[in-house]
Amino acid sequence: MTEWREVQGSDRDAALDEAVRLLGVAVDDMEIGDLPSDEGVRLLVRVAGTEAAGNTVGDDAVAAEAGVTESGTAPEPAPSRPREEVDPVLLRQQQDVALDFLEELLEAFDLEGEIAAEYRDTVLHLDIGGDDLGSLIGRRGTTLAALAEVTKTVVQRRTAARVRVNVDVQGYRARRRAALERFAEERAQEVLDRGIEVALDPMAAADRKVVHDVIAKIDGVRSYSEGQEPKRNVVLSPA
């Protein structure tokens, strides 16, 4: 079982960014609980799905992980429970719902494409291939990110079950990640060479995570996020 970790930040976005860096997963793949704080935001986080109890943190669980109960005494450790196996029938149902939705969307926008779907590492990956599909990607992948979120919402509502969804169009995500990794490495070298902070342009949370992942592997440089959505950006500074 992955244990709870405490993170904090000047606001909730900052705390969640720290959680992303600490756990190495996206916010959608975390269980999150709020802790009392006199200043800023404090959260308890861990990777989702580590127990069979569900995907949210109740008040009792938050208090227990903080090390206190209502009486002020340390709680008894909760017994560990085996993780439930995912129903293969449900997985197939979710995959079919996602495929139907995306096919209907392509038809509605008079677009032609082939959709491949498979589960990898508990994530439903949907790859749309074809020509002239740039309208599904948008500037810096903003439309694609929205498409993935809508697809996830549709699947969850129609199957009444949680699902993790990744949608890609014409291999855009892989190319985008590779480009971001190179960009982050170049900016990190600038920080090392000049000994100054470098503020990057605002970017989506998924892109910020890529940058944080790259910088975490480079000695002498650290990264953090600042600002509010949608203008939140990553800053690189000497470690």
Check residue 38 and give its pLDDT: 65
The segment(s) of the chain belonging to CATH 3.30.1370.50 are 174-238
pTM for the whole thing? Answer: 0.58
pLDDT in tens, 169-186: 999 988 999 999 999 999
The sign of the CA dihedral 118, 120, 126, 127 is: negative
E strand or H helix at 127: strand 123-129
Fold of 88-170: GMP Synthetase; Chain A, domain 3 (3.30.300)
Return the CATH fold of 174-238.
Ribosomal Protein S8; Chain: A, domain 1 (3.30.1370)
Tokens 């779907």, residue located: 117
d(CA 108, CA 104): 6
b/e for 159-188, b at 16 or more Cβ within 10 A? beeebbbbbbbbebbeebeeebeeebbebb
Dihedral of the alpha carbons of 6, 9, 14, 15, in degrees to the nearest 10: 20
Contacts 24+ apart (CB under 8 A), 155-163: 155/94, 155/97, 155/98, 155/101, 155/124, 158/97, 159/90, 159/93, 159/94, 159/97, 161/90, 161/94, 162/55, 163/94, 163/124
Radius of gyration for the chain, computed over Cα atoms and rounded to the nearest angstrom: 20
**Residue 38 burial class via C-beta count within 10 angstroms: exposed 0-12, middle 13-18, buried 19 and up:** exposed
Listed in order, the ranges of the chain carrying CATH 3.30.300.20 are 88-170
- 14-50 pLDDT tens trace: 888 888 878 777 777 777 877 766 677 888 777 876 4
Q: Which residues pair with 222 in a beta bridge?
A: 237
| Interaxial angle between packed helices 142-159 and 88-108, expressed in degrees from 0 to 180 and rounded to the nearest 10 | 130
Section 149-174 average pLDDT: 92
